[in-house]
Structure 1
Amino acid sequence: MTNDTSNLELWPIGNCQVSGLIDEAAGLVWGCVPRVDGDPVFCALINGDRQDVGVWRFELEGQVSAVQRYERNTPILITRLEADDGSAVEITDFCPRFERSGRMYRPVAFTRVVRPVAGAPRLKVQLRPMHDYGAEKASSTNGTNHVRYLVGEQAMRLSTDAPVGYVLEGRAYRVESDQHFFLGPDEPFSGNLRAVVRDMEALTRKYWQLWVRGLATPLEWQDEVIRCAITLKLCQHEETGAIVAALTTSIPEAPGSARNWDYRYCWIRDSYYTVQALNRLGALDVLEKYLAYLRNIVDAAKGGQIQPLYSVMGDAHLHESEAKSLEGYRGMGPVRIGNAAYQQVQYDCYGQIVLPTAQAFFDQRLLRLADERDFASLEQVGELAWQKHDQPDAGLWEFRTRREVHTYSAVMCWAACDRLENVARWLNMPERAAYWGERATAIRARIDAQAWVDNDNGDPHYGASFETDYLDASLLQLAELRFLPPDDPKFVSTLTAVERDLRRGDHMLRYAKEDDFGAPETAFNICTFWLIDALARSGRRDEARKLFSTMLGHKTRSGLLSEDTDIETGELWGNFPQTYSLVGVINCAGLLSESWSTVR
């Protein structure tokens, strides 16, 4: 059974080294090696109608249904396939992750277990990895119990107790006992495959359930928050601590829009929001690893400009090109590799480095507390925020053909100076506190003078930039960032203006003004969550809860969201799963939930 049309009903698996997306019929249709920004050996998701290559699928003869679920509090996926004769199998998908020999075992490996659960199921295995971004099929050699695939310069080995000949030929056969598939490093599988894979499954389950047990979830919407938290953790490349914006590339923001971007990189902005959300749940392991990544980024910059994004390994050059061999999601190319936004200047990144790093000075739970040396390094970032707060940039929406002094960027530069003042006071450095306090005050005054639009039609508000009075949804963040209290008349009037201009029913545009690709066609999900946040903070709690419930109704069956939503149909578009959107679920749930004290 193959899908004629790709969709975003996808189920992520992963182990913070590699990740994969499983479709509605248990097909592994997206997965890169040796890490998230690597070559997609499974690329059927973005290969148009070519669903027969770049895929690993189990096809049940006479299949009539597929039902999927995650094992509770884990990213271990169970798919039940049933046939018209009543026969059925269950497929378990996971990437091993557990502590072994004093370190985390997270191999470049995908593990799949097929279990017959009813009747006499007949199954066909379709395993056809590609390499060089869909340009060539992986060549293979095999032995009695393994198949070796050459994917570019890297080899992967499938170890299995299924009939290797049937697997290679894609021939249907009866499944009479559990069968185990481990596609991983090109080395002989050590130990009894059945026993070892089952042990891996149990240890992986235990790891994730213990990790979830440490989360401080809100009373309401616990399942939704837990699923988003697990998935955000899967978006971290543990080796370096980098957090990618999404697991995919080139899922268009709207049909045929060519707004197809590669999001498999670490945006300083997106990562700030991710660690902020996970911090609220107490997931400090993600923060600690990300702070190490940030320290390396700041060190490498040597006091110079910091880019808006880097590779997960910290590489600065992310040359943007197109994969000519892949047709794109539903045939809507281009498929892009790399992201030219690395060449842009986006000055909000300075605040987004300071804000999460500041926590390391205060939070006694951390294994490594920041000290005066870290403060001195962070002051270099603050100096850049001061220098650039009133300079034009591409802004958080990454305009490619124009620059303005964006209010959001300026506010983030203010936040950098404001938080440095707080840290200096904590470290008992009054002269440095006064220094940064003066700079924060000066930036605030500049924003009020340049961004506030006090027009004649009784519609005063902050504008999206110093040069014009148009609006964008980032202005909803003024309260959350503590630039203004939520009951401040300036915030309330700005909220009114933004909602009037950018709200479309139950959705929010990021902006309505035409950009490099024309007018936006879909709602940007994080902006809707920012609206929910602003409504709740400004006293419109019931309205916020209703809108939040509506947004949760757009989740995939896996409990997740992509970047964008079609305003008319509710269909999801954009890269998946999108960290921004998952952050929105976590933050709004925490803000809107009833207190645990109500049930104690």
Structure 2
Amino acid sequence: MSTLELWPIGNCQVSGLIDEAGALVWGCVPRVDGDPTFCALMRGPDGQDGGTWRFELENQVAVHQGYLRNTPILVTRLEDATGGAVDIYDFCPRYERLGRTYRPVAFARIVRPVAGTPRIRCVLTPMSGYGSQLAPITRGSNHIRYLVERNTLRLTTNAPVGYILDERFFRLESALHFFLGPDEPFDGEVERQLETMLNHTGNYWRLWVRGLATPLDWQDAVIRAAITLKLCQHEETGAIVAALTTSIPEAPGSQRNWDYRYCWIRDAYYTVQALNHLGALDVLEKYLAYLRNIVDDAEGGAIQPLYAVSGAREIIEWEAPDLPGYRGMGPVRVGNAAYYQVQNDCYGQIVLPAIQAFSDERLLRMASAEDFAGLEQVGELAWQMHDQPDAGLWELRTRTAVHTYSSVMSWAACDRLANAADHLGLHDRAELWRERADTVRKHIDAEAWHEVEGPEFEDHGAGGHYAATFGGEQLDASLLQMVELRYVAADDPRFKATLAAVQKALRRGEHMLRYDSEDDFGLPETAFNICTFWLIEALHRSGQDEEARRLFQAMLAHRTRSGLLSEDMDFETGELWGNFPQTYSLVGIINCAGQLSRSWRDWR
């Protein structure tokens, strides 16, 4: 049965997920939102073969897995009953070559004998057309070509090609090298070249990690989350996808199956914010270039909540009929209809990361007055839409409201534009944006505040709490972000009362729901991991560090063996659900570790 015990590999152009047996079970070509050439993860629980690349060890009895330190290079050791063992090295090449970053659409695998006389076989069954057929094959003397949709992949190897085609067991007496990549002649000896690629790729990632400003505590967790967040960026355009998968359900049989292989403006904002805390400005710079293109293409019009990694606006949603789904829990959706929703928080989430470029001297390209003029067009929409109904950040499909979180994001857009205008010496524009921020604040405080009588509210001196929508009384976890966005201070009685109310309504043991009211698919059945991290941050900012640390340690204990989290979690069993790895959840690890860690001064 499929599980989310998966190990991502990638190079910011292509990515894959390796399962507990060392099989490549998910990987799309030629980029993250492409045809899943390796789709075994979505082929159901009934043993259907196809869409996988695995090495089987005869009489296997054990598997051990782990990443090479500070890299996304995975090593899987297979052991047999007679003491034989092999190591499989999985990676996607990435390093500087000839003045450019070499990141081909390619998966590299090296299989090395370790002990005894192991016998293995290679099963390589890429598919085409979202699982509709096995990829047609042609062969050469030292390679095999797979015709995958509009792409052709070539496997270059020093292994006997006949053994691979026949899926025959054979004795592994020396290291074998496999490069599945572009349909072009392989340059040089495959053995020597792949060993060089492995070394260069490892060095690239170790040097990248060395430049991170990690907290003292939980460094391993933060480094693994940071590496994986970087793997979620499609470097060619700068887009950051919400996850590497589609259609892993939020709860068993829930039909809450969504394609997350696209760039949500909201998710990307949180990703670059977290990586900024670590000093990973390369991700920010590439993403800002992506945003500038999005703003230019909008031509002063509305911004969508999400875009394709190419920047394309249209992402038609459909269901892949030939894929049964994760554990058979379909449908497998391709595309996402949320692209045409109105989600007014996205304007603030464009402005907030872009503001850094006006003052951060480290950036290779700082923002100019012309960039500010373009950003003001986004701010204008934030101002116009701050009190208008939308689908909200939870993307409700059948109803709208004026969501408090969206309005607070509009306030933040106006507030930060005022700061940028001051920095540029545009004081008349700064005054305009401050006046607008003040007006938005008055609307929020008047319309989103819900008066409630009760001793729990009297204790905080507030007499109520902020609600999720204007004129409403329901709560959602996004209200915990009001402090992070600097809308209120953590010691403000209104926030303390809201924090208490949110916990009472939405907390389930050590976990948080995003909301507890029925939506398009009924009542939520699982906790939303980023909301639990938002609670941890709010507790810390409110001076409740002991409880914040306890909850953080509990969340870390739920990570997969690869050190990662998906989107959702069963709050009773702790089982992970939802798309994987989820950028939101990894952001939570980084942000909470940074806030709760001891200072480096304590160590020195």
Q: TM class, shorter-chain normalised?
A: over 0.9
1:235-272, Cα deviation, whole Å (9 max, x unpaired): 00000000000000000000000000000000000000
Q: Which residue in the other structure is 1:22 paired with?
A: 18
Unpaired runs of at least 5, structure 2: 458-463
Q: Give the conservation status (yes or no) of the 8 Å contact 1:36–1:247.
A: yes
Q: Give the conservation status (yes or no) of the 8 Å contact 1:44–1:50.
A: no
**Counterparts of 2:230 and 2:452, CA distance in 1:** 45
Q: 1:11 aligns with which of 4, 7, 11?
A: 7
Determine whether 1:451 maps to 2:455: no
**Counterparts of 1:45 and 1:481, CA distance in 2:** 38
Alignment TM-score, normalising by the size of structure 2: 0.98
Q: Which residue in the other structure is 1:150 paired with?
A: 147
Report the alpha carbon displacement of residue 467 of structure 1 after superposing the two structures with TM.
3.1
Q: Which residue in the other structure is 2:375 paired with?
A: 378
> Equivalences for 1:404-443 in 2 at 5 Å?
404-443=401-440
Q: Which residue in the other structure is 1:294 paired with?
A: 291
1:337-358, Cα deviation, whole Å (9 max, x unpaired): 0000001000000000000000
**Counterparts of 1:62 and 1:573, CA distance in 2:** 32
Q: Give the conservation status (yes or no) of the 8 Å contact 1:350–1:412.
A: yes
Q: 1:101 aligns with which of 86, 93, 98?
A: 98
Q: 1:336 aligns with which of 333, 338, 349?
A: 333
- % same residue: 70
Q: 1:178 aligns with which of 170, 175, 186?
A: 175
Q: Which residue in the other structure is 1:199 paired with?
A: 196
Q: 1:367 aligns with which of 364, 367, 372?
A: 364
Q: Which residue in the other structure is 1:471 paired with?
A: 475
SS across alignment from 1:487: coil
What letter corresponds to residue 191 of structure 1 in structure 2?
A: G
What letter corresponds to residue 383 of structure 1 in structure 2?
A: E
4+ runs of 1 displaced by more than 6 Å?
none
Determine whether 1:590 maps to 2:590: no
Report the alpha carbon displacement of residue 455 of structure 1 after superposing the two structures with TM.
2.1
Determine whether 1:70 maps to 2:67: yes
SS across alignment from 2:165: helix
> Equivalences for 1:351-366 in 2 at 5 Å?
351-366=348-363
Q: Give the conservation status (yes or no) of the 8 Å contact 2:450–2:471.
A: no
SS across alignment from 2:328: coil
Q: Give the conservation status (yes or no) of the 8 Å contact 1:404–1:467.
A: no
**Counterparts of 1:557 and 1:51, CA distance in 2:** 26
1:216-248, Cα deviation, whole Å (9 max, x unpaired): 000000000000000000000000000000000
What letter corresponds to residue 228 of structure 1 in structure 2?
A: A
Q: Give the conservation status (yes or no) of the 8 Å contact 1:46–1:335.
A: yes
Report the alpha carbon displacement of residue 50 of structure 1 after superposing the two structures with TM.
4.0
**Counterparts of 1:410 and 1:367, CA distance in 2:** 33
**Counterparts of 1:386 and 1:162, CA distance in 2:** 62
Report the alpha carbon displacement of residue 51 of structure 1 after superposing the two structures with TM.
4.5
Q: Give the conservation status (yes or no) of the 8 Å contact 1:249–1:260.
A: yes
**Counterparts of 1:530 and 1:214, CA distance in 2:** 27
SS across alignment from 1:330: helix
Q: Which residue in the other structure is 2:570 paired with?
A: 566
Determine whether 1:189 maps to 2:186: yes
Q: Which residue in the other structure is 2:461 paired with?
A: none
Q: Which residue in the other structure is 2:460 paired with?
A: none
What letter corresponds to residue 32 of structure 2 in structure 1?
A: V
SS across alignment from 2:297: helix
Determine whether 1:272 maps to 2:269: yes
**Counterparts of 1:148 and 1:526, CA distance in 2:** 42
Q: Which residue in the other structure is 2:489 paired with?
A: 485
Q: Which residue in the other structure is 1:398 paired with?
A: 395
What letter corresponds to residue 568 of structure 1 in structure 2?
A: E
Q: Which residue in the other structure is 1:517 paired with?
A: 521
What letter corresponds to residue 16 of structure 1 in structure 2?
A: C
Report the alpha carbon displacement of residue 428 of structure 1 after superposing the two structures with TM.
1.1
What letter corresponds to residue 552 of structure 2 in structure 1?
A: F
Q: Give the conservation status (yes or no) of the 8 Å contact 1:307–1:344.
A: yes
Q: Give the conservation status (yes or no) of the 8 Å contact 1:87–1:119.
A: yes
**Counterparts of 1:170 and 1:51, CA distance in 2:** 16
What letter corresponds to residue 443 of structure 1 in structure 2?
A: V
Report the alpha carbon displacement of residue 371 of structure 1 after superposing the two structures with TM.
1.0
Q: 1:90 aligns with which of 65, 83, 87?
A: 87
1:22-51, Cα deviation, whole Å (9 max, x unpaired): 000100000000000000000000110345
**Counterparts of 2:538 and 2:159, CA distance in 1:** 55
SS across alignment from 1:479: helix
SS across alignment from 1:286: helix
Q: 2:28 aligns with which of 21, 24, 32?
A: 32
**Counterparts of 1:242 and 1:25, CA distance in 2:** 31
What letter corresponds to residue 597 of structure 1 in structure 2?
A: R
Q: Give the conservation status (yes or no) of the 8 Å contact 1:17–1:108.
A: yes
What letter corresponds to residue 295 of structure 1 in structure 2?
A: R
What letter corresponds to residue 388 of structure 1 in structure 2?
A: M
What letter corresponds to residue 355 of structure 1 in structure 2?
A: L
Q: Which residue in the other structure is 1:166 paired with?
A: 163
Report the alpha carbon displacement of residue 533 of structure 1 after superposing the two structures with TM.
0.2
**Counterparts of 2:442 and 2:542, CA distance in 1:** 24
**Counterparts of 2:407 and 2:184, CA distance in 1:** 53
**Counterparts of 1:223 and 1:51, CA distance in 2:** 37
**Counterparts of 2:151 and 2:367, CA distance in 1:** 40
What letter corresponds to residue 8 of structure 1 in structure 2?
A: L
1:408-434, Cα deviation, whole Å (9 max, x unpaired): 000000000000000011111110010
SS across alignment from 1:515: coil
Determine whether 1:122 maps to 2:119: yes
What letter corresponds to residue 524 of structure 1 in structure 2?
A: F
Q: Give the conservation status (yes or no) of the 8 Å contact 2:246–2:334.
A: yes
Q: Give the conservation status (yes or no) of the 8 Å contact 2:266–2:346.
A: yes
Q: Give the conservation status (yes or no) of the 8 Å contact 2:414–2:436.
A: yes
What letter corresponds to residue 367 of structure 2 in structure 1?
A: A
Q: 1:42 aligns with which of 20, 30, 38?
A: 38
Determine whether 1:539 maps to 2:532: no
1:352-397, Cα deviation, whole Å (9 max, x unpaired): 0000000000100000010100100000000000000000000000
Alignment TM-score, normalising by the size of structure 1: 0.99
> Equivalences for 1:241-252 in 2 at 5 Å?
241-252=238-249
Q: Which residue in the other structure is 2:555 paired with?
A: 551
Determine whether 1:210 maps to 2:207: yes
Report the alpha carbon displacement of residue 457 of structure 1 after superposing the two structures with TM.
3.4
**Counterparts of 1:284 and 1:505, CA distance in 2:** 37
Q: Give the conservation status (yes or no) of the 8 Å contact 1:9–1:557.
A: yes
> Equivalences for 1:230-269 in 2 at 5 Å?
230-269=227-266
1:50-82, Cα deviation, whole Å (9 max, x unpaired): 452100000000111110000000000000000
SS across alignment from 2:268: helix
**Counterparts of 1:199 and 1:500, CA distance in 2:** 56
Q: Give the conservation status (yes or no) of the 8 Å contact 2:528–2:567.
A: yes
Unpaired runs of at least 5, structure 1: none
**Counterparts of 2:496 and 2:54, CA distance in 1:** 52
RMSD of the TM alignment (CA)?
0.6
**Counterparts of 1:251 and 1:574, CA distance in 2:** 5
What letter corresponds to residue 307 of structure 2 in structure 1?
A: Y
**Counterparts of 1:467 and 1:17, CA distance in 2:** 46
Q: Give the conservation status (yes or no) of the 8 Å contact 2:281–2:363.
A: yes
Q: Which residue in the other structure is 1:506 paired with?
A: 510
**Counterparts of 2:403 and 2:388, CA distance in 1:** 8
**Counterparts of 2:451 and 2:439, CA distance in 1:** 20
